[in-house]
Protein backbone atom coordinates (compact mmCIF):
# COMPACT_ATOMS: atom_id res chain seq x y z
CA UNK A 1 0.00 0.00 0.00
CA UNK A 2 1.40 3.46 -0.99
CA UNK A 3 0.72 6.34 1.37
CA UNK A 4 1.44 10.06 0.91
CA UNK A 5 2.19 11.35 4.40
CA UNK A 6 1.25 14.93 5.21
CA UNK A 7 3.91 17.28 6.56
CA UNK A 8 2.23 20.40 7.85
CA UNK A 9 3.93 23.72 7.19
CA UNK A 10 6.47 22.43 4.65
CA UNK A 11 6.10 24.28 1.31
CA UNK A 12 5.55 22.21 -1.79
CA UNK A 13 4.53 19.08 0.09
CA UNK A 14 1.17 17.42 0.06
CA UNK A 15 -0.67 18.77 3.09
CA UNK A 16 -3.92 16.85 2.63
CA UNK A 17 -5.05 15.05 5.78
CA UNK A 18 -4.01 11.43 6.17
CA UNK A 19 -6.96 9.15 5.37
CA UNK A 20 -8.48 7.78 8.59
CA UNK A 21 -8.20 4.15 7.46
CA UNK A 22 -4.51 4.53 6.63
CA UNK A 23 -3.81 6.25 9.93
CA UNK A 24 -5.46 3.38 11.76
CA UNK A 25 -3.35 0.84 9.86
CA UNK A 26 -0.12 2.67 10.71
CA UNK A 27 -1.10 2.91 14.37
CA UNK A 28 -1.90 -0.81 14.50
CA UNK A 29 1.47 -1.66 12.97
CA UNK A 30 3.24 0.48 15.53
CA UNK A 31 1.58 -0.99 18.61
CA UNK A 32 1.62 -4.67 17.70
CA UNK A 33 4.66 -6.48 19.04
CA UNK A 34 3.79 -10.15 18.66
CA UNK A 35 1.45 -9.91 15.69
CA UNK A 36 1.73 -8.81 12.09
CA UNK A 37 -0.01 -6.34 9.80
CA UNK A 38 -0.76 -9.07 7.36
CA UNK A 39 -1.95 -12.55 8.30
CA UNK A 40 0.93 -14.98 8.51
CA UNK A 41 3.69 -12.36 8.75
CA UNK A 42 6.32 -12.62 11.48
CA UNK A 43 7.58 -9.30 12.88
CA UNK A 44 11.28 -8.89 12.07
CA UNK A 45 12.27 -8.65 15.73
CA UNK A 46 10.72 -12.09 16.57
CA UNK A 47 12.87 -15.06 15.58
CA UNK A 48 11.70 -18.54 14.64
CA UNK A 49 13.49 -19.86 17.73
CA UNK A 50 11.50 -17.50 19.94
CA UNK A 51 8.25 -18.56 18.29
CA UNK A 52 9.11 -22.23 18.83
CA UNK A 53 9.98 -21.57 22.48
CA UNK A 54 6.62 -19.85 22.95
CA UNK A 55 4.81 -22.76 21.29
CA UNK A 56 6.52 -25.27 23.56
CA UNK A 57 5.72 -23.15 26.60
CA UNK A 58 2.01 -23.46 25.73
CA UNK A 59 2.13 -27.20 24.89
CA UNK A 60 0.49 -29.29 27.68
CA UNK A 61 2.95 -32.11 26.94
CA UNK A 62 5.54 -30.12 28.90
CA UNK A 63 3.80 -31.39 32.06
CA UNK A 64 4.39 -35.07 31.18
CA UNK A 65 7.85 -35.12 32.77
CA UNK A 66 9.36 -33.88 36.00
CA UNK A 67 7.82 -33.22 39.37
CA UNK A 68 8.05 -34.82 42.80
CA UNK A 69 6.49 -38.26 43.12
CA UNK A 70 4.19 -38.31 46.15
CA UNK A 71 2.36 -41.63 45.60
CA UNK A 72 3.12 -44.94 43.90
CA UNK A 73 1.58 -48.41 43.81
CA UNK A 74 2.63 -51.34 41.60
CA UNK A 75 0.46 -53.93 43.39
CA UNK A 76 3.34 -56.31 44.05
CA UNK A 77 1.53 -57.98 46.94
CA UNK A 78 -1.29 -60.50 47.43
CA UNK A 79 -3.92 -58.12 48.88
CA UNK A 80 -4.98 -54.51 48.34
CA UNK A 81 -4.42 -53.67 52.00
CA UNK A 82 -5.39 -50.39 53.66
CA UNK A 83 -3.94 -48.12 50.94
CA UNK A 84 -7.20 -48.39 48.97
CA UNK A 85 -10.81 -47.89 50.11
CA UNK A 86 -13.54 -49.84 48.30
CA UNK A 87 -16.81 -48.12 47.46
CA UNK A 88 -20.08 -50.00 47.74
CA UNK A 89 -23.25 -48.78 46.01
CA UNK A 90 -26.30 -49.89 47.97
CA UNK A 91 -28.50 -50.19 44.88
CA UNK A 92 -26.19 -52.81 43.33
CA UNK A 93 -27.02 -56.34 44.45
CA UNK A 94 -23.53 -57.75 43.78
CA UNK A 95 -20.35 -56.47 45.43
CA UNK A 96 -17.46 -55.61 43.10
CA UNK A 97 -14.73 -58.21 42.55
CA UNK A 98 -11.48 -56.27 43.02
CA UNK A 99 -8.39 -58.45 43.37
CA UNK A 100 -4.65 -58.40 42.73
CA UNK A 101 -3.59 -60.79 39.99
CA UNK A 102 0.08 -61.14 39.01
CA UNK A 103 0.98 -57.55 39.86
CA UNK A 104 -2.18 -55.99 38.42
CA UNK A 105 -5.34 -54.97 40.23
CA UNK A 106 -8.25 -56.36 38.26
CA UNK A 107 -12.01 -56.11 38.25
CA UNK A 108 -15.04 -57.33 36.35
CA UNK A 109 -18.68 -56.23 36.52
CA UNK A 110 -17.74 -53.45 38.90
CA UNK A 111 -20.67 -51.21 37.94
CA UNK A 112 -18.87 -48.10 39.21
CA UNK A 113 -18.05 -49.53 42.63
CA UNK A 114 -14.44 -48.41 42.52
CA UNK A 115 -11.45 -48.41 44.83
CA UNK A 116 -9.92 -45.12 46.02
CA UNK A 117 -6.61 -43.94 47.45
CA UNK A 118 -6.01 -40.70 49.34
CA UNK A 119 -3.14 -39.79 47.05
CA UNK A 120 -3.56 -36.42 45.30
CA UNK A 121 -2.21 -33.02 46.46
CA UNK A 122 -5.07 -30.55 46.79
CA UNK A 123 -3.08 -27.48 45.70
CA UNK A 124 -0.76 -26.73 42.80
CA UNK A 125 -0.28 -28.53 39.50
CA UNK A 126 -0.51 -32.32 39.51
CA UNK A 127 0.20 -35.25 37.18
CA UNK A 128 -1.27 -38.75 37.61
CA UNK A 129 0.08 -41.72 35.63
CA UNK A 130 -1.39 -45.21 35.30
CA UNK A 131 -1.19 -48.29 33.07
CA UNK A 132 -4.51 -49.85 32.04
CA UNK A 133 -5.81 -52.60 29.79
CA UNK A 134 -9.24 -53.94 28.87
CA UNK A 135 -9.18 -57.72 28.42
CA UNK A 136 -11.55 -60.24 26.88
CA UNK A 137 -14.87 -59.79 28.68
CA UNK A 138 -16.14 -62.32 31.19
CA UNK A 139 -19.41 -62.34 29.24
CA UNK A 140 -20.82 -60.53 26.23
CA UNK A 141 -19.06 -58.37 23.65
CA UNK A 142 -15.81 -56.46 24.17
CA UNK A 143 -16.66 -53.00 25.54
CA UNK A 144 -13.30 -51.20 25.73
CA UNK A 145 -14.20 -48.71 28.46
CA UNK A 146 -11.15 -47.78 30.58
CA UNK A 147 -11.70 -45.28 33.36
CA UNK A 148 -10.18 -43.62 36.37
CA UNK A 149 -11.51 -40.94 38.70
CA UNK A 150 -9.47 -38.13 40.22
CA UNK A 151 -9.70 -35.15 42.57
CA UNK A 152 -12.74 -36.71 44.26
CA UNK A 153 -13.82 -35.08 47.52
CA UNK A 154 -14.95 -38.48 48.85
CA UNK A 155 -13.94 -42.08 48.05
CA UNK A 156 -17.08 -42.51 45.98
CA UNK A 157 -18.14 -42.48 42.33
CA UNK A 158 -18.89 -39.10 40.70
CA UNK A 159 -17.40 -36.98 43.48
CA UNK A 160 -14.71 -35.50 41.21
CA UNK A 161 -13.79 -36.09 37.57
CA UNK A 162 -14.21 -39.26 35.51
CA UNK A 163 -11.58 -39.80 32.79
CA UNK A 164 -12.96 -42.25 30.23
CA UNK A 165 -11.35 -43.72 27.12
CA UNK A 166 -13.48 -45.95 24.90
CA UNK A 167 -16.58 -45.60 27.03
CA UNK A 168 -20.08 -46.57 26.01
CA UNK A 169 -18.93 -49.67 24.08
CA UNK A 170 -15.69 -48.14 22.75
CA UNK A 171 -17.48 -45.15 21.22
CA UNK A 172 -16.59 -42.08 23.28
CA UNK A 173 -13.84 -40.34 25.25
CA UNK A 174 -14.56 -37.72 27.89
CA UNK A 175 -13.66 -35.92 31.08
CA UNK A 176 -16.86 -35.62 33.11
CA UNK A 177 -17.21 -33.47 36.23
CA UNK A 178 -19.34 -34.67 39.16
CA UNK A 179 -21.29 -37.09 37.00
CA UNK A 180 -20.86 -39.02 33.76
CA UNK A 181 -24.21 -37.89 32.33
CA UNK A 182 -24.19 -34.17 33.12
CA UNK A 183 -23.97 -31.02 31.01
CA UNK A 184 -20.20 -31.00 31.60
CA UNK A 185 -19.87 -34.40 29.90
CA UNK A 186 -18.90 -33.30 26.39
CA UNK A 187 -18.13 -36.61 24.69
CA UNK A 188 -15.82 -36.96 21.72
CA UNK A 189 -15.48 -39.91 19.31
CA UNK A 190 -13.24 -42.47 20.98
CA UNK A 191 -9.66 -43.27 20.24
CA UNK A 192 -10.60 -46.93 20.38
CA UNK A 193 -9.15 -49.48 22.77
CA UNK A 194 -7.72 -52.77 21.51
CA UNK A 195 -8.54 -55.89 23.48
CA UNK A 196 -5.70 -56.85 25.84
CA UNK A 197 -3.40 -53.97 24.89
CA UNK A 198 -1.70 -52.09 27.73
CA UNK A 199 -1.85 -48.29 27.52
CA UNK A 200 -0.04 -45.71 29.64
CA UNK A 201 -2.28 -42.81 30.60
CA UNK A 202 -1.63 -39.47 32.26
CA UNK A 203 -3.92 -36.89 33.81
CA UNK A 204 -2.53 -33.37 34.22
CA UNK A 205 -4.18 -30.59 36.19
CA UNK A 206 -2.43 -27.29 35.45
CA UNK A 207 -4.16 -24.10 36.46
CA UNK A 208 -7.67 -24.07 35.00
CA UNK A 209 -7.00 -26.87 32.50
CA UNK A 210 -7.20 -30.63 32.93
CA UNK A 211 -5.58 -32.80 30.26
CA UNK A 212 -6.09 -36.54 29.56
CA UNK A 213 -3.25 -38.30 27.67
CA UNK A 214 -2.79 -41.80 26.26
CA UNK A 215 0.72 -42.90 25.26
CA UNK A 216 1.84 -39.28 25.36
CA UNK A 217 -0.85 -38.07 22.97
CA UNK A 218 -3.63 -35.74 24.08
CA UNK A 219 -7.06 -37.36 24.25
CA UNK A 220 -9.05 -34.56 25.81
CA UNK A 221 -8.76 -31.15 27.50
CA UNK A 222 -11.31 -29.86 29.99
CA UNK A 223 -11.21 -26.22 31.08
CA UNK A 224 -12.56 -25.55 34.55
CA UNK A 225 -12.26 -22.19 36.33
CA UNK A 226 -13.71 -23.71 39.52
CA UNK A 227 -12.01 -27.13 39.68
CA UNK A 228 -12.82 -29.84 42.17
CA UNK A 229 -9.68 -30.39 44.28
CA UNK A 230 -10.31 -33.41 46.47
CA UNK A 231 -7.50 -35.85 47.42
CA UNK A 232 -9.03 -39.12 46.22
CA UNK A 233 -7.85 -41.11 43.19
CA UNK A 234 -10.16 -43.87 41.97
CA UNK A 235 -9.87 -46.96 39.77
CA UNK A 236 -13.20 -47.87 38.30
CA UNK A 237 -15.16 -49.59 35.52
CA UNK A 238 -18.69 -50.48 34.49
CA UNK A 239 -18.74 -53.95 32.89
CA UNK A 240 -15.32 -54.08 31.24
CA UNK A 241 -12.74 -56.66 32.33
CA UNK A 242 -10.23 -53.95 33.25
CA UNK A 243 -6.83 -54.11 34.94
CA UNK A 244 -4.63 -51.38 36.40
CA UNK A 245 -0.96 -51.07 37.37
CA UNK A 246 1.91 -48.67 38.21
CA UNK A 247 -0.17 -45.84 39.63
CA UNK A 248 1.93 -42.72 40.26
CA UNK A 249 1.10 -39.19 41.39
CA UNK A 250 3.46 -36.23 40.94
CA UNK A 251 3.37 -32.74 42.41
CA UNK A 252 4.52 -30.34 39.67
Q: Which of 54-58, 80-84, 165-169 has the weakest average pLDDT?
A: 54-58
For residue 121, pLDDT beyond 60: yes
Per-residue exposure over 61-96, b if at least 16 CB sit within 10 Å of its own CB, e if not: eebbeebeeebebebeeeebeeebbebeeeeeeeeb
pLDDT computed for residue 109 by the predictor = 74
Q: Measure the CA–CA gap between 162 and 147, rounded to whole angstroms.
A: 7
Distance CA 155, CA 239 (A): 20
28 pLDDT above the threshold of 70: no
Query: Which of the two residues, 138 and 211, has the higher pLDDT score?
Result: 211
Mean pLDDT, rounded, for 98-116: 91
For the whole model, what pTM was predicted? 0.77
Which ranges of the chain would DSSP assign to H, the alpha helix?
A: 20-31, 48-58, 167-170
Residues 201, 214 contacting (CB under 8 angstroms): yes
pLDDT at 17: 46
Q: Where are the beta strands (DSSP E) in the chain?
A: 68-73, 85-86, 99-101, 104-107, 115-118, 126-135, 146-152, 161-166, 172-177, 188-189, 199-206, 209-214, 217-223, 232-236, 241-251
Question: Residue 245 above 70 pLDDT?
Answer: yes
| Contact of 107 with 96, CB cutoff 8 Å | yes
CA–CA distance, 116 with 94 (Å, rounded to integer): 19
CATH topology of domain 60-251: Jelly Rolls (2.60.120)
Q: What is the mean pLDDT of residues 57-79?
A: 94
CA distance 123 to 91: 34
Percent of the residues in the chain that have a pLDDT greater than 70, as a whole number: 77
Q: Render pLDDT for 179-203 as a digit per residue (tens, 0 to 9).
A: 998 777 789 999 999 999 999 999 9
Question: Is the Cβ–Cβ distance between 31 and 210 less than 8 Å?
Answer: no
CATH 2.60.120.560 intervals, the chain: 60-251
Find, among 132, 144, 184, the residue nearest to 168 by Cα.
144
Lowest mean pLDDT among 1-10, 76-85, 207-216: 1-10
Amino acid sequence: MSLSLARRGVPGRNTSPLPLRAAGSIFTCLVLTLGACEKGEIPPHVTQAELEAERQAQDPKRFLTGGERVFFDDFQRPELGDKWVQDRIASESEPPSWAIDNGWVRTGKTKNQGIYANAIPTTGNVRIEISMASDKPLAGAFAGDLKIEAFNTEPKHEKGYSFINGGWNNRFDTIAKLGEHTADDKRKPAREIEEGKVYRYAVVLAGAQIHWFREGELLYTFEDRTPVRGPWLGLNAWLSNARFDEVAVYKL
